[in-house]
């Protein structure tokens, strides 16, 4: 049944690739992966394979890859992605020896892939459960780990109709899960080789903080003024905070939208009633006199949050919020929209007092007015955000202490 679904999925992807550029990249990338592997795999080397669906999962696996690189330079690293949004951004990442797409999970692809790579170990990040790859890894006795994984009762493994598919979980050597709930759920299936180690993203954001980039344009823009930083924003988010900041001229605004296409940037500019400049088109001198700075490039957001007294993370009025940890690590309160229930870190940040949920423009106004006028409250929220991240670090150490390379 699984393979039938996979073959139907392959057919659907092939057809969709004719009409969608993103799917076309994934389709081509999967086919080109074998050529990449044939050209680059060193038959005499030992490869540790990391698979990440997309960019978020890559960031979770990155602390382990970088520690492995430092402590076991004799090993080589293969990094695979499923989504173009991960591969296209990190295809030149220098922490891996080979980077490619993972071909779709057919029995033939899995056999061919493992024959070429012959990994000595594999790490699947968070939600990755590819039956044919995992079954072959298990049959060949290759240690295979699930890292920063998280399980919920509504997943197929725990439903009455998921009896067949839950067998894929038995292919893992060990699970390193984020919370006790996940451990307990796996125990109901008889899976006990599980360690609650937390989420490696906390280690990653702390490393990013330590390596923050110097940004002269943003330094000049701030110039001692109070700044609100909105990261990974979408139009529903922007409709709320732009309206507010158009009438609160004592604060400056930095917007790093999730989509930086020209149409979206023009839409943002058209909504602003205060002087705005674009990061790639301005100078420190011009930025100093502006009220709003629009970040129209990738790779800077994690360093920019430190310039804010208050932050906002977008996506909560759509499919789900983006990375709240990148903001919280700088000890600034994090505001976000209502679609955050599936994100453990957001729920815990709310509980700590470092995160604040809004559901409307009026909610946002109330939150902002209190944070702006109540200094002790702002200080408390800021402190709780930073303490939350610090207190959750250490997953990388716990995982690597339990793995023998």
Amino acid 83: pLDDT: 86
In this model, does residue 13 exceed pLDDT 80? no
The pLDDT of 173-189, averaged and rounded, is 96
Angle separating helix axes 361-373 and 375-391, nearest 10 degrees: 100
Task: Specify the pLDDT at position 109.
Answer: 93
Identify the CA nearest to 357 among candidates 240, 188, 247, 268: 240
**pLDDT band (50, 70, 90) for residue 254:** very high
Q: Which of 137-146, 152-161, 253-262, 356-365 has the lowest mean pLDDT?
A: 152-161
Residues 15, 82 contacting (CB under 8 angstroms): no
Helices (H), 191-324: 201-210, 216-222, 235-245, 262-271, 284-288, 301-304
What are 133-165's pLDDT values in tens digits?
999 999 999 999 999 999 999 998 999 888 888
Of 9-13, 87-91, 137-141, 242-246, which range is least confident? 9-13
Among 347, 351, 353, smallest CA distance to 378 is for 353
Question: Where does the pLDDT of residue 237 fall: very low under 50, low under 70, confident under 90, or very high at 90 and above?
Answer: very high
Q: At what angle do helices 262-271 and 235-245 cross, to 10 degrees?
A: 30
Q: Do residues 231 and 253 touch, judged by C-beta distance below 8 A?
A: no
For residue 17, is pLDDT > 80? Answer: no
State whether residue 335 is helix, strand or coil.
strand
How far, in Å, CA of 8 to CA of 281, rounded? 47
Helix (H/G/I), strand (E/B), else coil: 316: coil
Over residues 263-291, the mean pLDDT reads 97
What's the pLDDT at 283? 97
Q: Which residues does residue 146 pair with via DSSP β-bridges, in sequence order? A: 124, 175
Give me the residues paired with residue 336 across strands: 313, 357
At residue 24, the pLDDT reads 78
- The pTM assigned to this predicted structure is 0.86
Structure-block tokens of residue 252: 């400056």
More confident residue, 2 or 75: 75
Question: What percent of the chain lies above the pLDDT cut of 90?
Answer: 83
C-alpha 228/C-alpha 172 separation (Å) is 44
> What would the two tokens of residue 159 be?
């439903």
Give yes or no for residue 3 having a pLDDT over 80.
no
- Does residue 75 come out as left (phi exceeding 0), alpha (psi in the -120 to 50 range) or beta? beta
Mean pLDDT of the chain: 94
The answer to whether the CB of 337 falls within 8 A of the CB of 359 is: yes
* Strand (E) or helix (H) holding 175: strand 174-177
3-state helix, strand, coil in the chain (%, to 5): 50, 15, 35
3-state secondary structure 77-95: EEEEECCHHHHHHHCCCCC
User: pLDDT by residue (tens digit) across 290-330?
Assistant: 999 999 998 899 999 999 999 999 999 998 999 999 999 99
């Amino acid at each position: 049944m699984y393979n039938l679904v996979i073959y139907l999925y392959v057919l659907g992807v092939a057809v969709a690739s004719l009409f969608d550029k993103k799917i076309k990249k994934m389709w081509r990338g999967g086919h080109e992966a074998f050529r990449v592997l044939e050209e680059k795999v060193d038959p005499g080397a030992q490869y540790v394979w990391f698979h990440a669906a997309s960019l978020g999962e890559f960031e979770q696996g990155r602390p382990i890859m970088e520690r492995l690189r430092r402590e076991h330079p004799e090993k080589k690293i293969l990094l695979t992605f499923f989504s173009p949004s991960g591969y296209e951004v990190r295809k030149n990442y220098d922490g891996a020896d080979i980077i490619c797409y993972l071909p779709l999970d057919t029995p033939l692809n899995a056999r061919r892939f493992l024959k070429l790579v012959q990994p000595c170990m594999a790490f699947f990040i968070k939600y990755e459960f590819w039956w044919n790859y995992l079954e072959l890894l298990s049959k060949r006795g290759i240690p295979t780990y699930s890292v920063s994984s998280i399980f919920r009762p509504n997943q197929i493994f725990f439903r009455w109709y998921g009896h067949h598919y839950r067998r894929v979980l038995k292919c893992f050597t060990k699970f390193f899960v984020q919370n006790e709930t996940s451990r307990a759920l796996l125990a109901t299936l008889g899976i006990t080789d599980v360690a609650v180690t937390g989420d490696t993203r906390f280690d990653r954001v702390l490393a990013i903080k330590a390596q923050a980039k110097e940004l002269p344009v943003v330094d000049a823009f701030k110039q001692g003024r109070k700044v609100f930083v909105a990261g990974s924003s979408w139009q529903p988010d922007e409709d709320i905070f732009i309206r507010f900041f158009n009438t609160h001229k004592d604060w400056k605004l930095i917007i790093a939208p999730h989509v930086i296409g020209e149409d979206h940037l023009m839409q943002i500019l058209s909504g602003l009633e205060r002087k705005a400049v674009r990061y790639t088109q301005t100078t420190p001198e011009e930025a100093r006199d502006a009220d709003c700075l629009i970040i129209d490039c990738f790779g800077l957001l994690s360093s920019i949050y430190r310039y804010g007294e208050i932050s906002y993370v977008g996506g909560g009025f759509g499919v789900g919020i983006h990375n709240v940890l990148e903001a919280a690590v700088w000890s600034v309160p994090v505001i976000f929209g209502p679609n955050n229930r599936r994100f453990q870190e957001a729920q815990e940040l709310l509980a700590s007092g470092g995160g604040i949920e809004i559901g409307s423009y009026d909610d946002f106004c109330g939150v902002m007015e209190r944070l702006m006028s109540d200094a002790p409250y702002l200080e408390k929220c800021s402190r709780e955000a930073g303490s939350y991240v610090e207190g959750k670090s250490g997953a990388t150490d716990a995982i690597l202490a339990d793995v023998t390379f």
